[in-house]
Amino acid sequence: MASPLAALGLLVSPTQLGLVGKPGQIVSGTLHVSSSKSEENHISLAISDFTRNEDGQVVEILDSKLQPRSCKGWIDVDRSDFVSPAVGSVDVTVSARIPADATGSYWALVALASQPPARDLRGQGVAIRLIPRVAIPIVVTVEGTTKPAVAIIETRAVRADKGVDVYSTIENTGNTAVLISAAFSLERRSTGGGEAEELAGTTVGPLTSLPGTRMKAKGHLEYDGSLAGVQAHAYLRYGPDAADSTEAVAVIEDRPPVRQDSAVNGTSPSAAHPVKR
Amino acid sequence: MTSRRTMLLAVVICAASAAVAAAPGPPSIVVLSPLVDLGSVRPSVDGIAAPEPRSAPIPLLIQSSSPWSLTATLESNSAATQLLPDGDRIEIRPAGRVWTRLQLSLPIPLASGGETGPAGDSIPLEVRVISTLDSPPGSRHVRIRFAIASDSNTGFADVSYAVPVVTQLNDDLTPFVSPRVNPARPGLYPYEIRTYQVVSNVPWVVEATLSAPAIAQASAATLPQNTLVITNETGVAQPLVPNEPVAIASGGASGQQPRSVQLRLAVKVDDAVLPAGDYSGQLSLSIRPAASSGSGTEAAVRR
């Protein structure tokens, strides 16, 4: 397929790089950088720290001491200044030297920025030039030391336009970065002790969850029937084993969601009850 | 007459020798490696050279006392089989031959031969998976049924693979340069609109982040907070604060058809003092899987 992608810009793949190795090992992965625009790009690389906020957004951390699971100091790249050719691509090898005592997951950010052209902005008044930058999260996981664990802190379900909105606050309580796939559903309890009837369902993710961080996931469930006897379920899967999952149930509220702060703190009377699986 | 008798005798001898050499019983298939794990199969994305699809061998052993024809079919009625997404293509071939796409419930001829002898004939097959962005991420398990002659002579291979999440933003490293701004004249001074392309096999969100305050080149003064804004399509401006991502757009899985996203930056001049100078900063654009199943663009929404 001829793609408009070929007519524009720069491509960096993947948009997040995961490296896995044993304590004491050096592990590496590759970033593919290509100029799909027919011109060279002068690119420089920098490594920094980051975390993810509750919305899953990447937020940089300027002081490494504030990021106890930083692997910024372990990471090396095989080229920090290079020219991305007009045609073809450049592979950048990102390697991490894992300390012998490391456990779980660690992370840092590799940022690619174009070097500012020697262009004069002279003139009257003010001009603001912004240099574009592409930031790629690098997650290093130490094999044999992982303890993945995820908890649902709260789930709320609120009647919305054409259905129900379900919100879950999720905390990574283990030492390992995981990809979370979330499934939300509306289920009507059986009156005769049989299986509950699923009325609507949707999925979200996968979402990257870092140890020690919280994030929010939201699902919109389209359903225009009666909500009598109906509950909202949130189900999270964060690993290949059935045990790598957790679930919560929430009653459906009629009012709009309350402020985020109280939802996270679990002060709502309709906070969900996590279900052990 | 003699020649006719000789011919008949020759036919009888041939038939007898064939009967002696042939394997007894009905034809059979043995799948020597019935479990195949192809690992992670990354969807091909335009603009990035797709890696050569990984293939795996499936050696078969066929024993038959008569000519045989081998077919392969994707199974649809096995517990080990899921319905394949449209974006996944499973291909098979005898080693070194042309790849053929396997079909659900439709036998594909792969090879044929004559009687095999008691040791049987070894048939080296290869299988591979090609995935596109029309495929959602996830693990897949499919079963291939091999058959000769009739359905009663079958063998199976179970193939596993996983399609990873792919989100890709076509970025543009050309610097954003604002128009000249008159600090004494309040208003919005828009940058040139920039269009990006997104492809993804999951719902996505594109965000812009001002990495740090823009700095004046001559005086090292920092650009006052809230001077840079991102405007949405209706003209509503959201301030671009250092290290606080702003969602520009979101959407559902694009499949192979890229989705266009526009970035509308502007310099906002109001009553606050904007010291003269030429400022420079860095702007990150990123894409990630969305944390919401809601679909459609929420342009320039602070999250």
Residue B42 lies in a domain: yes
Residue A116 is predicted with a pLDDT of 62
From CA A147, how far away is CA B164, in angstroms rounded? 22
Residue B18 is predicted with a pLDDT of 35
CATH code, domain carrying B110: 2.60.40.10
Q: Are residues B139 and B36 in the same domain?
A: yes
CATH code, domain carrying B203: 2.60.40
Q: Are residues B187 and B250 in the same domain?
A: yes
Q: Are residues B144 and B184 in the same domain?
A: no
Q: Are residues B125 and B207 in the same domain?
A: no
Q: Do A127 and B244 touch (CB under 8 A)?
A: no
Q: Are residues B128 and B250 in the same domain?
A: no
Average pLDDT over residues B111-117: 87
Among B138, B163, B188, residue at a domain's last position: B163
Residue B298 lies in a domain: no
Q: Which pair of tokens denotes residue A100? A: 């012998």
Question: Domains, chain A, ranges and CATH?
Answer: 4-116+128-142 (2.60.40.10), 150-275 (2.60.40.10)
Q: Which pair of tokens denotes residue A228? A: 């009598």
Q: Are residues B54 and B155 in the same domain?
A: yes
Domain with B176 in it: 167-289
* Token pair 């509503």: residue: B236
pLDDT exceeds 70 at position B210: yes
Q: Which of A114-118, B124-128, B209-213 has the highest mean pLDDT?
A: B124-128
Q: Which of A17, A126, A129, A237 to mutate to test the interface with B (most CBs of B within 10 A)?
A: A126
Residue B282 lies in a domain: yes
Q: Which pair of tokens denotes residue B193? A: 């609109």
Beta-strand ranges (E) seen in B185-276 are 187-190, 194-200, 204-210, 215-216, 228-231, 237-239, 246-251, 259-263, 265-269
Residues of A in contact with B139 (CB under 8 A): 240
Nearest to B291 among A89, A133, A218 (CB): A218
Among B163, B192, B224, residue at a domain's last position: B163
Residues of B in contact with A5 (CB under 8 A): 46-47, 170, 197, 199, 258
* Furthest-apart CA atoms within chain A: distance in Å: 79
Segment 212-251 of chain B within 8 Å of chain A by CB: 214, 217, 223, 227-228, 243-245
Q: Are residues B110 and B219 in the same domain?
A: no
From CA A207, how far away is CA A56, in angstroms rounded? 8
Please say whether the dihedral angle defined by the alpha carbons of residues B176, B205, A155 and A211, taken in this order, is positive or negative.
negative
% of chain B surpassing 70 pLDDT: 80
Cis amide leading into A206 (omega within 30): yes
Nearest chain B CA: its distance from A122 CA (Å): 8
Nearest to B289 among A11, A43, A206 (CB): A206
Q: Band the pLDDT of B220: cuts 50, 70, 90.
A: confident
Residues of A in contact with B251 (CB under 8 A): none
Q: Do B286 and A134 touch (CB under 8 A)?
A: yes
**B245-273 pLDDT per residue, tens:** 988 888 888 888 888 888 899 998 887 77
3-state secondary structure of B72: strand
Residue B255 lies in a domain: yes
Q: What are A95's strand-pairing partners? A: A28, A76
Q: Do A130 and B49 touch (CB under 8 A)?
A: no
% of chain A surpassing 70 pLDDT: 81
Average pLDDT over residues B15-43: 69
Is B196 in CB contact (< 8 Å) with chain A?
Answer: yes
Pair B290, B238: CB distance under 8 Å: no
Q: Are residues B155 and B56 in the same domain?
A: yes
Tally of domains within chain B: 2
From CA A44, how far away is CA A115, in angstroms rounded? 6
Residues of A in contact with B270 (CB under 8 A): none
Nearest to A124 among B180, B292, B303 (CB): B180
Q: Are residues B93 and B176 in the same domain?
A: no
Q: Which pair of tokens denotes residue A185? A: 């559903």
- Phi and psi, residue B25, nearest 5°: 80, 180
Q: Are residues B152 and B173 in the same domain?
A: no
Nearest to A1 among B165, B176, B256 (CB): B256
| Contacts with B277 (C-beta within 8 Å, 6 or more apart), sequence order | A126, B216, B217, B218, B219, B221
Q: Do A127 and B177 touch (CB under 8 A)?
A: yes
Q: Are residues B263 and B143 in the same domain?
A: no
Among B135, B163, B191, residue at a domain's last position: B163
Q: Do B48 and A32 touch (CB under 8 A)?
A: yes
**A123-175 pLDDT per residue, tens:** 667 888 888 888 899 999 999 999 999 999 999 999 988 899 999 999 999 99
Number of residues in chain A? 277
From CA B243, how far away is CA B284, in angstroms rounded? 10
Residue B252: closest C-alpha in chain A: A204
Q: Are residues B32 and B75 in the same domain?
A: yes
